[in-house]
A and B are shown apart, each in its own frame.
Chain A
Amino acid sequence: MTDATELRLRTEEFLAAHPPASTDRGDFLKARFDAGLAWVHYPEGLGGLGAPRSLQAVVDAELEAAGAPDNDPRRIGIGLGMAAPTVLGFGTEEQKRRFLRPLWTGEEVWCQLFSEPGAGSDLAALGTRAVRDEASGDWIVNGQKVWTSSAHSARWAILIARTDPEQPKHRGITYFVCDMTDPGVDVRPLRQITGEAEFNEVFLTDVRIPDAHRLGAVGEGWKVAQTTLMNERVSIGGMRIPREGGMIGPVAKAWRERPELRTHDLHQRLMKLWVDAEVARLTGERLRQQLVAGQPGPEGSGMKLGFARLNQEISGLEVELLGEEGLLYDDWTMRRPELVDFTGREAGYRYLRSKGNSIEGGTSEVLLNIVAERVLGLPSEPRTDKDVAWKDLAR
């Protein structure tokens, strides 16, 4: 089933059987998953129909028009954007059935236990250990993770840990699904620049992970993590938005509604950023069209880079544009937000939060290296860390 007309019909039938106005939100979402209308490109039985990814837009438009509830992607972003494609790509049938449905409906929130105090950009240097307990076959995990967004509301985590320190760093890593309710998991808020604690430190002490919660083969975790990281970048940078749908929106609105803020200087800068924002949007759109046409391009690697730079420049301009109001902030109180919101709240918040856009999910410096090496084919920097056993690396 690949046809837009057919899919539209199917969505209409679904809506008739589950009228949004009279159906419980949870029931609606579960039924939508079961009908294969969650992510149409996933296989049947796993929330999809094996249809081209681009057709999701058809379903979404129908549902939106009918006022259907959504699964609040902002709250479950890590699950949707990163855990799901990884589970789909590397999970066993059993894992896919167990994890994907509650992930998609939002019943279960996910977080990502990747970064460590000593391993950020160089993620493969991580030191959290997972040791096999021969008797039970379980893995016993010890270590510390950091900058973990949403760990405080998460039910599950994707986790990478070192299972063989004798191997070079990329080869001794294994990928797991970690139960955040395990008594060995200690989540502590880590307050950030905006005042709130969106991310956490996570201490792992004798956390027991059954072997059935391993994703991919032992020692193959880096390969699995590549899928996660690639999807992370796409999901951060690849949102489909209308014209002025991103950060430029509030600035354009302020400009139109408040002539007293206008100066020639700001006007020039605003127009430059407006052009950049619109071109970035079109680049994303073009990338999507290429995908549909079966010609995936390397532009995807650049989307997150562009998104970060734009968000930062536009929100920086916005604070300046607002002048006296830009000198104010809405609220520094330490809170633990349920959802990760880049554009919410006020100009000052946007300015500060967007500083994270060029760090989370891989820094812009590291992504630029990737573009230079993988897209342009430029030689990489000399490396001294590739063939040395992890345990012998300088840290």
Chain B
Amino acid sequence: MTDLLYSEEEEALRSAVRDLLTDRCDAAAVLARAETDTPHDRELWKALAEGMGLAGLLVPEELGGQGATHREAAVVLEELGRAVAPTPYLTSAVVATEALLACEGPEATELLAALAAGRTVGALAVSLATAPGAPFNGVRHEEVGDQGGALHGELTGIADAVGADVLLVPAGGGLFAVHTAQDGVTVTPRTSLDLTRPLATVTFEGARARALTQDADAAVRRALRAGAALLASEQLGVAEWCLTETVRYTKERHQFNRPVGSFQALKHRLAQLWLEVVGTRAAARAAADALATGSADTDLTSALAQAYASPVAVRAAEEAVQLHGGIGMTWEHPVHLYLKRAKADSIAYGTAGAHREALAGLVELPAP
């Protein structure tokens, strides 16, 4: 039976992460950082990854990780979403880690341990917009004698490549590890809609690479599926913040001699949003639990979670902007960070439409 609740340990984990984020990641700091050249908060990452050991949640203990499950990682992502935290948790500790877990051999094992320890940040070099089952681009691979060879080509839309130490790059059907601090690798930051999750174009000109697996397809699919499934928990966090903050604001903000939250036109909308957030939580928990237990329902629940959570998070953020009135349109007020994250998340790892399409196949309700 799918366990859709939070365990005591998970609640304890949540409060630890929330406390840290309350101390170290307030909205003003996130906003200030977004406008610098170092979009990730390295100190915060250190505290989360090394201090609390969260980067290794999905990695078995014998490989240097915490041996926890996707259920715990999902709780972490809820909190990171609630704070629009500028950290590469989803991309490194979930997506890159999952890709490595699909590989065998010493190269992958070593990298996994490094990622789990939080000392090394990894990123899968597949466009953030790619849905789990969709085709993805790779670059050209050239044998040069050693175990890996050299890579040539360009990949776009790579989330958190800025700040990553290692890229996992599909090339010639295989997956390769490429250190970013070497000749032949250029990471060019692009201006991202989501100020807290930077995108980059990466180019390889004879970059030295180490082979991780011959079957990039399987590794990438696994990674993207976990990304999509757990993204729903981040979206839940984003939506919850938007709802809570808007409820708080509309209780306090007075117009016409009364709190604007007392107008039924607003009350019903916020109540409706609450219902959708409740639904998002159930869907996100189902997806995390399926991954954690290796359930046969994993594809279905992750597509379901994305099909549901993406539009809810976007709507929650849009409602938050609207119900804050003019102040919601300002740069100073943090709600725009959530809107930008929610909108970018709705494209990340496949749009709701792409996931509905995947579902149609899975539940045998095919298109006409």
Contacts and interface: CB of A to CB of B under 8 A. Distances in A.
Given A190-B330, A312-B318, A348-B193, A319 B343 contact: yes
Contacts of A328: 190-193, 199
A260 to B, nearest CB: 11
A299 B353 CA distance: 35
A40 to B, nearest CB: 35
Contact residues of B: prevailing secondary structure? mixed
Nearest to A147: B326
Interface stretch (B102-110, B173-181, B274-282, B344-352): B344-352
A327 B331 contact: no
Interface residues of B, number: 49
B248 interface: no
Interface in B313-354: 314, 318, 321-322, 325-326, 328-332, 336, 339-340, 343-344, 346-348, 351-354
B358 to A, nearest CB: 11
A258 interface: no
Given A122-B255, A328-B199, A385-B257, A264 B347 contact: no
A323 B53 CA distance: 34
B323 to A, nearest CB: 8
Contact of B325 (A316, A363, A383, A395): A363
Contacts of B192: 327-329
Chain A interface size band reads 35 or more
Contacts of B322: 355, 358-359, 363-364
Most B C-beta atoms less than 10 A away, residue of A323, A330, A360: A323
B347 A327 contact: yes
B235 to A, nearest CB: 15
A266 interface: yes
Interface stretch (A27-35, A191-199, A205-213, A215-223): A191-199
A338 interface: no
B263 A365 contact: yes
A125 interface: yes
B129 A327 contact: yes
A326 B191 contact: no
Interface string A368-386: 1100000000000101110
Given A319-B347, A323-B129, A332-B191, A195 B331 contact: yes
Most A C-beta atoms less than 10 A away, residue of B314, B322, B336, B354: B322
A13 interface: no
A324 to B, nearest CB: 4
Interface in A156-209: 190-193, 195
A352 interface: yes
Nearest to A265: B353
A85 interface: no
Contact of A115 (B193, B260, B314, B326): B326
A121 B325 contact: yes
A274 interface: no
A263 interface: yes
Contact of A265 (B191, B314, B330, B357): B357
Interface string A307-332: 00000100010011001101111111
Contacts of B348: 327
A327 B367 contact: no
Given A122-B256, A265-B357, A327-B157, 20 more contacts: A120-B255, A122-B255, A190-B330, A192-B330, A193-B331, A193-B336, A193-B339, A265-B351, A265-B354, A320-B346, A324-B128, A324-B347, A326-B129, A327-B348, A359-B322, A360-B326, A365-B265, A383-B256, A388-B257, A394-B254
21 contacts: A122-B255, A191-B332, A193-B321, A193-B336, A264-B367, A265-B351, A265-B352, A269-B353, A319-B343, A319-B347, A320-B346, A324-B127, A324-B128, A324-B129, A326-B193, A327-B347, A328-B190, A328-B191, A332-B191, A351-B343, A359-B326
